């Protein structure tokens, strides 16, 4: 095999795969670094040509090649420079090539949207991902010999949801600021009984949101980073919950009241959720049942809120929770589709949790009373009567919507009814 | 299967444990049970090999020479890293110092690494004597004795040598080519100030040493198995990277002649 290059030299048996023009760059001035990178990009046995006008480079290139297991084949005088030919030694590593030439489309307004990035190597979401891929961005070419990361969720169906990129884009578009986006100045003075009820509900909401923050935080580091859309989305969930805790706490202390009572039922309920080790079961209990039920609670509060500021806080929180529920439904549905027998694990999870909670009182009177006062408009007997009726209707709605969400998952009516009735009286 | 082959190594860095856990796993996998013993210095390791506590020692060239001295030249060199072949010492100088060869060192300030480092002290002194210079009498030597006992394995004394030349505390210095090239590649050599002007003749570096009475067929099996360790295999890649080897090669004794000569060790 002969190769005639532009300078007219013929090098028998050597066809450089790459030519590196070093000019007068010294070995220590960056040339060796460039040579190492260039060699790394080659396949075993391929040849790199280095052109250099710097005489001292000769000794260094020869020594470097020996030490790194590569072979200096020849150096040729080419007049104003020297041509060095280095053959890459056997590294035993098949060389993958990274993507090049990808240019994602822009959406109206110049948007670069995650939904459009499923192209090339980045777009190849693997069914199963080895734990040694660590933090290698999906699509990048890795070097072998990396450590295993402590991931336990290494299979796509275990974490994926078909709407994940939509949900992520929604999440980033719908962020809000609990310090400045709420018209705290417009909060009117409320009668003490109503203010106290609002403060009690805010205490309860904040308490529950801690669980909704801690639970995805526990699972996130177990998810293989190859499923990056899920990881990024869960990061938005965690940030949402942080903002909700902030907003609910602020509402409790914004208007002359303060944080009120926490019930052991709530803590037992949230604890039983937190200790769940299985992501599939946890996702179902938290996102589908817990946050799903919370959607109905937040709807109820938005409808009966005694003032527009409180209504605004719960409406904003509800929008965020809607995304979390949408992830949970899509994620659990995807797994049930792949393996319908997994529905048994959902019944088991609900039963086990119910068994733990049976030892508790079964209701949270402070919260029930507060919800009745808010929906009845006060604590007078006729207001209470109206409020209790509204809360009863809320419970029916919660049950009905829980069942509907479970039907969306593909569970049958009887199973959905059974699980809904086992659901915690704490809502979450 | 008989008892495990016991190999000694010097723990010059915590990563040595990672390396040897990996090598032990490797030999277990190929059916040649091997265990390792770590020493804090090469003298103790040489004693252990000579006393029969070890079957094989992972030696520097200096430690190997000590073994040969005590075994009357009968040691076997089982295997080496590809990077141990044809090791060299570099003479680096301050630009404009007027030193362009080893013979120019008379009357000048020369930085050397740890006294027991072959590449940064023992071989440099040897090469100077060979060129007719009496280093003790004619050269102002600045010794950086760091991690003595580890034969320069940590490389920290070589970095001190380069620093001294950079800072002008020495006119020249001698270091191993591996350290020089790494520093050069990483951009830590200021080429405007420091340059390499001379490269020594080659000499070999580390090896797996066994005494003459170690079972020859077991020695051969062990070396053959080591040579099969594949750099392309995920499981061994990190171990090999940490050990600075991309290919194990068969040992050879002739490459150590300059080191034995430098240390005044006469072998048959």
From chain A, the residues in CB contact with B166 under 8 A are none
Token pair of A134 as six digits: 């660590």
- Tens of pLDDT, residue by residue over B102-133, are 999 999 999 999 999 999 999 999 999 999 99
Average pLDDT on B247-256 reads 96
One domain, residues B72 and B20:
yes
* Residues 6+ positions from A335 with CB-CB distance below 8 Å: A157, A158, A280, A342
The B-side interface with A (CB below 8 A) comprises: 82-83, 85-86, 88, 177-178, 181, 183-187, 189-191, 195-196, 199, 230-234, 237-238, 241, 246-247
What is the CA A197 to chain-centroid distance, rounded?
A: 35
Q: What is the largest CA-CA distance in chain A?
A: 104
Minimal C-alpha gap between B107 and chain A (Å): 26
Its domain, for residue B96, covers: 89-199
Nearest to B177 among A32, A63, A93 (CB): A63
Minimal C-alpha gap between A226 and chain B (Å): 19
One domain, residues B112 and B195:
yes
From chain A, the residues in CB contact with B247 under 8 A are 69, 89-90
From chain A, the residues in CB contact with B88 under 8 A are 63
Are A92 and B241 inside 8 Å of each other by CB?
no
Minimal C-alpha gap between B173 and chain A (Å): 17
Nearest to B234 among A29, A66, A144 (CB): A144
One domain, residues B80 and B94:
no
Instruction: Give the nearest chain B residue to A67 (CA atoms).
Output: B83
Are B184 and A90 inside 8 Å of each other by CB?
no
| Secondary structure class of A61 (helix, strand, coil) | helix
Are A145 and B230 inside 8 Å of each other by CB?
no
One domain, residues B80 and B124:
no
**Domain assignment of residue B128, yes or no:** yes
* Residues 6+ positions from A75 with CB-CB distance below 8 Å: A58, A82, A83, A84, A85
One domain, residues B94 and B192:
yes
Question: Quick one: pLDDT at residue B266?
Answer: 86
Token pair of B98 as six digits: 């007027």
Question: Quick one: pLDDT at residue A181?
Answer: 98
pLDDT-derived band of residue B252, with 50, 70 and 90 as boundaries?
Answer: very high
* pLDDT at B257 > cutoff 60: yes
Q: What are the phi and psi torsion angles at A76 (to 5°)?
A: -125, 135
Average pLDDT on B139-161 reads 93
**Domain assignment of residue B182, yes or no:** yes
From chain A, the residues in CB contact with B191 under 8 A are 26-29
Question: Quick one: pLDDT at residue B268?
Answer: 64
Instruction: Give the nearest chain A residue to B83 (CA atoms).
Output: A67
Task: Name the one residue in this structure whose structure tokens are 């630009």.
Answer: B95
CATH of the domain at B173: 3.40.190.10
One domain, residues B111 and B186:
yes
* pLDDT at B158 > cutoff 50: yes
Cβ-in-10-Å burial (0-12, 13-18, 19+) of A64 comes to: buried
Question: Quick one: pLDDT at residue A12?
Answer: 53
Minimal C-alpha gap between A47 and chain B (Å): 18
- Tens of pLDDT, residue by residue over B2-46, are 689 999 999 999 999 999 999 999 999 999 999 999 999 999 999
Q: Are A161 and A334 in contact (CB under 8 A)?
A: yes
Are B187 and A69 inside 8 Å of each other by CB?
no
**Domain assignment of residue B268, yes or no:** no
* Residues 6+ positions from A379 with CB-CB distance below 8 Å: A193, A197, A373
| Secondary structure class of A94 (helix, strand, coil) | coil
| Secondary structure class of B179 (helix, strand, coil) | helix
Question: Quick one: pLDDT at residue A145?
Answer: 78
Distance from C-alpha of A71 to C-alpha of A67, rounded to nearest angstrom: 10
One domain, residues B177 and B123:
yes
- Tens of pLDDT, residue by residue over B163-201, are 999 999 999 999 999 999 999 999 999 989 999 999 999
Domains and CATH numbers, chain A: 2-87 (3.30.110.40), 156-422 (1.10.620.20)
Token pair of A253 as six digits: 């202390």
Q: What is the secondary structure of B57-77 as a DSSP string?
A: EEE-HHHHHHHHHHTTT--EE
What is the CA A389 to chain-centroid distance, rounded?
A: 40
**Domain assignment of residue B26, yes or no:** yes
One domain, residues B105 and B43:
no
Question: Quick one: pLDDT at residue A2?
Answer: 40
Token pair of A118 as six digits: 């499923």
Last residue of a domain, one of B173, B199, B225: B199
Residue in A400, A397, A372 with CA at minimum distance from that of residue A387: A372
Nearest to B234 among A67, A90, A145 (CB): A145
Q: What's the angle, vertex CA B28, arms to CA B22 and CA B29, rounded to 5?
A: 90
Chain A interface test: which of B244, B246, B248 (most A C-beta within 10 Å): B246
Minimal C-alpha gap between B94 and chain A (Å): 15
Task: List per-residue pLDDT tens for chain A, 428 residues long.
Answer: 344 444 445 555 688 999 999 999 999 999 999 999 999 889 889 999 999 999 999 999 999 999 998 999 999 999 999 999 999 988 766 678 899 999 999 999 999 999 999 999 999 999 999 999 999 999 999 887 788 899 999 999 999 999 999 999 999 999 999 999 999 999 999 999 999 999 999 999 999 999 999 999 999 999 999 999 999 999 999 999 999 999 999 999 999 999 999 998 899 899 999 999 999 999 999 999 999 999 999 999 999 999 999 999 999 999 999 999 999 999 999 999 989 999 999 999 998 888 877 766 567 889 999 999 999 999 999 999 999 999 999 999 999 999 999 999 999 999 999 999 888 888 88
Beta carbons within 10 angstroms of residue B114's beta carbon: 27
From chain A, the residues in CB contact with B91 under 8 A are none
Are B232 and A144 inside 8 Å of each other by CB?
yes
Are A69 and B186 inside 8 Å of each other by CB?
no
One domain, residues B185 and B209:
no
Token pair of A201 as six digits: 């509900």
**A92 vs B55, more confident:** B55
Torsion sign across C-alpha atoms A56, A57, A58, A62? positive
Using the 8-state DSSP alphabet, how is residue A42 labeled?
Answer: S
Beta carbons within 10 angstroms of residue A325's beta carbon: 20
Torsion sign across C-alpha atoms B152, B156, B157, B159? positive
**Domain assignment of residue B176, yes or no:** yes
Residue B152, Ramachandran bin (φ over 0: left; ψ between -120 and 50: alpha; else beta)? left
Question: Quick one: pLDDT at residue A167?
Answer: 98
Question: Quick one: pLDDT at residue A1?
Answer: 37
Residue in B150, B192, B1, B162 with CA at minimum distance from that of residue B90: B162
Question: Quick one: pLDDT at residue A8?
Answer: 45
Using the 8-state DSSP alphabet, how is residue A73 labeled?
Answer: E
Tell me whether A92 touches chain B (CB under 8 Å): yes
Element counts in chain A: helices (H) and strands (E): 14, 6
Are B83 and A63 inside 8 Å of each other by CB?
no
Beta carbons within 10 angstroms of residue A181's beta carbon: 14
What is the CA A84 to chain-centroid distance, rounded?
A: 49
One domain, residues B124 and B209:
no
What residues 56-85 of chain A have any CB closer than 8 A to a CB of chain B?
Answer: 56, 59-60, 63-64, 66-69
Nearest to B246 among A28, A36, A89 (CB): A89
Minimal C-alpha gap between B200 and chain A (Å): 12
Minimal C-alpha gap between A94 and chain B (Å): 8
For residue A49, what is the enclosing H or E element?
strand A47-52
Are A64 and B82 inside 8 Å of each other by CB?
no
Question: Quick one: pLDDT at residue A5?
Answer: 46
Total domains in chain B come to 2
What residues 123-152 of chain A have any CB closer than 8 A to a CB of chain B?
Answer: 132, 144-147
Last residue of a domain, one of B177, B199, B221: B199
From chain A, the residues in CB contact with B232 under 8 A are 90-93, 144
Instruction: Give the nearest chain A residue to B195 (CA atoms).
Output: A56
Q: Are A56 and A26 in contact (CB under 8 A)?
A: yes
Are B83 and A26 inside 8 Å of each other by CB?
no
One domain, residues B67 and B32:
yes
Task: Name the one residue in this structure whose structure tokens are 């639970």.
Answer: A215
* Residues 6+ positions from A81 with CB-CB distance below 8 Å: A23, A51, A52, A53
Alpha helices in A220-340 (DSSP H): 228-253, 264-274, 279-283, 291-304, 308-338
Are B247 and A90 inside 8 Å of each other by CB?
yes
Distance from C-alpha of A145 to C-alpha of B232, rounded to nearest angstrom: 9
Are B189 and A28 inside 8 Å of each other by CB?
yes
**Domain assignment of residue B267, yes or no:** no
Last residue of a domain, one of B199, B217, B240: B199
**Domain assignment of residue B39, yes or no:** yes
Distance from C-alpha of A372 to C-alpha of A386, rounded to nearest angstrom: 8
Q: Are A323 and A395 in contact (CB under 8 A)?
A: no
From chain B, the residues in CB contact with A91 under 8 A are 231-232, 246
From chain B, the residues in CB contact with A56 under 8 A are 195-196
CB pairs under 8 A between A and B: 69
**Domain assignment of residue B129, yes or no:** yes
Nearest to B185 among A36, A69, A89 (CB): A36
One domain, residues B99 and B180:
yes
Are A66 and B241 inside 8 Å of each other by CB?
no
């Amino acid at each position: 095999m002969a190769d005639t290059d532009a300078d007219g030299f013929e090098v028998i048996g050597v066809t450089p795969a790459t030519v590196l023009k070093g000019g007068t760059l010294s070995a220590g001035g960056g040339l060796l670094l460039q040579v190492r990178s260039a060699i790394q990009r080659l396949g075993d046995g391929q040849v790199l040509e280095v052109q250099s006008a710097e005489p001292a480079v000769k000794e260094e290139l020869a020594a470097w090649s020996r030490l790194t297991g590569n072979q200096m084949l020849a150096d040729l005088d080419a007049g104003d420079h020297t041509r060095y030919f280095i053959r890459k030694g056997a590294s035993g590593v098949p060389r993958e090539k990274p993507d090049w030439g990808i240019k994602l489309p822009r959406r109206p307004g110049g948007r670069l949207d995650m939904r459009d990035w499923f192209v090339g190597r980045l777009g190849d979401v693997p069914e199963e991902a080895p734990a040694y891929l660590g933090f290698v961005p999906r699509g990048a070419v890795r070097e072998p010999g990396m450590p295993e990361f402590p991931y336990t969720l290494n299979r796509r169906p275990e974490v994926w949801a078909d709407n994940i990129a939509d949900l992520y884009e929604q999440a980033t578009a719908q962020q809000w600021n609990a310090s400045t986006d709420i018209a705290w100045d417009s909060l009117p003075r409320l009668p003490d009984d109503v203010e106290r009820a609002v403060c009690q509900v805010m205490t309860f909401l904040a308490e529950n949101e801690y669980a909704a923050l801690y639970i995805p935080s526990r699972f996130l580091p177990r998810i293989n980073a190859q499923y990056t859309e899920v990881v990024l989305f869960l990061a938005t969930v965690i940030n949402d919950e942080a903002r909700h805790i902030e907003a609910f706490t602020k509402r409790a202390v914004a208007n002359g009241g303060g944080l009120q009572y926490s019930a052991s039922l709530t803590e037992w309920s949230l604890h039983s959720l937190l200790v769940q080790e299985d992501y599939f079961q946890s996702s179902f209990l938290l996102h589908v049942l817990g946050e799903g039920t919370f959607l109905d609670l937040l709807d109820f509060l938005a409808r009966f809120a005694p003032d527009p500021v409180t209504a605004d806080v719960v409406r904003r929180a509800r929008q965020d929770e809607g995304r979390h529920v949408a992830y949970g439904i899509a994620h659990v549905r995807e797994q049930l589709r792949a393996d319908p027998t997994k529905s048994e694990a959902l019944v088991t999870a609900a039963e086990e949790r119910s068994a733990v909670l049976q030892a508790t009182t079964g209701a949270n009177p402070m919260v029930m009373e507060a919800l009745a006062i808010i929906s009845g408009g006060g604590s007078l007997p006729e207001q209470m009567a109206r409020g209790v009726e509204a809360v009863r209707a809320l419970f029916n709605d919660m049950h009905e919507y829980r069942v509907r969400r479970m039907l969306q998952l593909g569970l049958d009516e009887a199973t959905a009814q059974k699980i809904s009735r086992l659901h915690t009286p704490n809502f979450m | 299967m008989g008892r495990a082959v016991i190999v000694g190594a010097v723990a010059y860095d915590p990563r040595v444990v990672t390396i040897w856990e990996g090598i032990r796993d490797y030999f277990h996998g190929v059916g040649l049970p091997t265990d390792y013993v770590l020493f804090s210095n090469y003298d103790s390791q040489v004693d252990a090999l000579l006393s029969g506590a070890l079957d094989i020692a992972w030696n520097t060239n200096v430690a190997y020479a000590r073994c040969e001295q005590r075994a009357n030249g009968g040691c076997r060199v089982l295997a080496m890293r590809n990077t141990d072949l044809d090791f060299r010492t570099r003479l680096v100088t301050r630009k404009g110092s007027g030193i362009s060869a080893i013979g120019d060192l008379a009357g000048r300030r020369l930085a050397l690494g740890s006294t027991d480092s072959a590449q940064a002290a023992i071989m440099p002194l040897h090469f100077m004597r060979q060129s007719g210079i009496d280093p003790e009498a004619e050269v102002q030597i600045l010794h950086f004795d760091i991690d003595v006992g580890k034969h320069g394995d940590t490389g920290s004394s070589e970095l001190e040598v380069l620093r001294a030349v950079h800072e002008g505390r020495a006119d020249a210095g001698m270091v191993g080519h591996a350290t020089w090239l790494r520093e050069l590649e990483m951009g830590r050599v200021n080429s405007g100030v420091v340059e390499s002007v001379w490269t020594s003749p080659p000499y070999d570096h580390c090896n797996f040493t066994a005494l003459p009475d170690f079972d020859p067929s077991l020695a051969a099996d062990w070396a053959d198995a080591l040579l099969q360790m594949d750099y392309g295999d995920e499981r061994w890649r990190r171990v090999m990277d940490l050990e600075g080897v991309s290919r194990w090669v068969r040992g050879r004794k002739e490459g150590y002649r300059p080191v034995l000569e430098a240390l005044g060790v006469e072998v048959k």
